Amino acid sequence: MIRTSSAGFGRRFAALIYDGFLLIAVLMPYTWIVVLIHGGAVTEASGRLTWWVFRSGALVIMAAYYVLNWTRSGQTLGMRAWRLRTLSESGKPLQVGQAVARFCWGLVAWAPFGLGVLWLYADPEHLAVQDRLSRTRVVVLARSRDRDQRAESENRGREPPDQHGIQSE
């Protein structure tokens, strides 16, 4: 069940940090391969074309991560941890074009110290700049009460496990 409230800055930022760690882990092998092929560090001084190709490749990897996750499940790994989901205005999963637009507008929104995302506190529908411009929204998912209730009912009436984790039936 989806709660209709838009996600706040704190949850979005926390999900971004989680995703940042994952992207660092993915970009490290990419960087290592580029450095091996190039024969040394890739900097602006080592050639403008090489530098821009390297940076463009890193951007493509990041875009692919977000676009694939948003179009498949509506959630990145960081968004799953914070119970967030990206949806279209109509509440449906994002199409590829919407996800690409959201990624591009997200770069613009986060770049100036997150001001485009902080805009959600001024917006009447609590949408950030990238939400508004890509016609998407990030919502907070409700906790799964069914799962919690099921686990609680399964454990009722049972003896606690012994020190080895074995329960008597």
Q: Between 60 and 147, name the one with better pLDDT.
A: 60
Residue 146 has pLDDT above 70, yes or no: no
C-beta separation of 137 from 6 below 8 A: yes
Global pTM reads 0.78
Q: Supply the mean pLDDT for the chain.
A: 85
Asked if 130 contacts 18 with a C-beta cutoff of 8 angstroms, the reply is: no
User: Where along the chain do its domains lie?
Assistant: 2-143
Residue 5 in this model has a pLDDT that exceeds 60: yes
pLDDT of residue 3: 43
Given its phi and psi angles, is residue 122 left (phi above 0), alpha (psi -120 to 50 degrees) or beta? alpha
Q: In this model, does residue 26 exceed pLDDT 50?
A: yes
User: Is the model more confident about 160 or about 138?
Assistant: 138
Q: Provide CB contacts within 8 A for 142, sequence distance 6+.
A: 1, 2, 3, 83
Instruction: Please give the pLDDT value at position 142.
Output: 87
pLDDT > 70: what percent of the chain? 82
Q: What is the pLDDT of residue 166?
A: 46
User: What is the pLDDT, as a whole number, of residue 114?
Assistant: 86
Residue 20 clears pLDDT 50, i.e. is over it? yes
* The 84-88 sheet, strands edge to edge: 2-6, 136-141, 84-88
Contact indicator for 38, 50 with CB cutoff of 8 Å: yes
89 closest CA partner among 136, 121, 47, 149: 136
Mean pLDDT computed over 1-5: 54
CB 123 within 8 A of CB 144: no
Decide if pLDDT at 155 tops 90.
Answer: no
CB 95 within 8 A of CB 40: no
